[in-house]
Amino acid sequence: MALSSILTEAEIAAGLQSCQAADSFDYKTFFVKVGLNSKSKDQIAKVFGILDQDRSGFIEEEELKFFLKNFSASARALTDAETKAFLAAGDSDRDGKIGVDGKTAFIKM
């Protein structure tokens, strides 16, 4: 399943536009721009499944680094600082990964 089945091309473009420069990624802004904060829990779970590249049931730091590439192959990778900040924001139990339940609450922030 592709993200384009959940998000419009315009939403994806707006989200990616908001963080083109290195160290400009802000997850709250990104979630609003792509419309994730207004999606249903089921739709967010589908997005989570796409982002969980290794199908572990969690999104780990390495998967977060390439988070934007899930939206467009031409998007940049997150910097180490952006990746660590993103993980820290979504990792409510501090186990080094984000589970689907945490991701849903995190997106709705």
Q: Provide the annotated binding site.
A: 52, 54, 56, 58, 63, 91, 93, 95, 97
What are the binding residues for Ca(2+)? 52, 54, 56, 58, 63, 91, 93, 95, 97
Give me the count of residues in the chain: 109
- Tokens 């939206």 belong to which residue? 71
Task: Spell out the SS3 assignment of the chain.
Answer: CCHHHCCCHHHHHHHHHCCCCCCCCCHHHHHHHHCHHHCCHHHHHHHHHHHCCCCCCEEEHHHHHCHHHHCCCCCCCCCHHHHHHHHHHHCCCCCCEEEHHHHHHHHCC
